Amino acid sequence: MILSSALIVIGATIPDHINQNDTQQSATRGKKIYEEYCLSCHQADGSGVPRLNPPLKKTSYVLGPQDKLIKILLNGLEEEIEINGEYYSNPMPAFGSVLNDQQIADVLTYVRSNFGNKASAVPVSKVKEVRAAK
């Protein structure tokens, strides 16, 4: 936790106009968060565990609308979902009180730009918006 806060402070010193750089910094912080909070279930390469934990590779959730994806992280998910012909129904824990807005933006930016995914970065403003609307 102390480590991630320190990284956020470093990130905040990068000028806003260097967008590409911002995205890279966010994904780098997100990788650490992923390793701490997500890897045990979704695995280092995002391939998940068949029938237990779904993959994060090019799924409609990962690549789809950002607000839906953010909500899964904030509130968790507990419904039967189907990904590539496999069904998953174990609960996904809620991270709304574990991770702050910046950490959620960072980990989702990491996931959306790794494991073969090429989707846009998730801005912290979007996480704030979704959290406020909930």
**Tokens 């279930």 label which residue?**
41
CB-count exposure of residue 64 (10 Å: 0-12, 13-18, 19+)? exposed
> Looking at 7-15, 21-29, 35-43, 114-122, which segment touches ligand HEC (CB under 6 A)?
35-43
> Looking at 20-28, 54-62, 114-122, 124-132, which segment touches ligand HEC (CB under 6 A)?
54-62
Handedness of CA 28, 92, 130, 128 (dihedral sign): negative
- Considering only residues 68-97, where is the footprint of ligand HEC by CB under 6 A? 69, 72-73, 77-79, 81, 83, 88-90, 92-93, 95
Determine if 40 is a binding residue for ligand HEC (CB under 6 A): yes
Count of residues that bind ligand HEC according to CB under 6 A: 28
Least distance in angstroms from the C-beta of 53 to ligand HEC: 4
Nearer to ligand HEC by C-beta: 73 or 105? Answer: 73
| Chain-centre distance for alpha carbon 43 | 13
Q: Is 77 helix (H, G, I), strand (E, B) or coil?
A: strand
Per-residue exposure over 94-133, b if at least 16 CB sit within 10 Å of its own CB, e if not:
bbbeebbbbbbbbbbbbbbbbbebebebbbbebbeebeee
- Considering only residues 15-34, where is the footprint of ligand HEC by CB under 6 A? none
Determine if 53 is a binding residue for ligand HEC (CB under 6 A): yes
**Tokens 């237990």 label which residue?**
52
Binding site for ligand HEC (CB under 6 A): 37-38, 40-42, 53-56, 59, 61-62, 69, 72-73, 77-79, 81, 83, 88-90, 92-93, 95, 107, 111
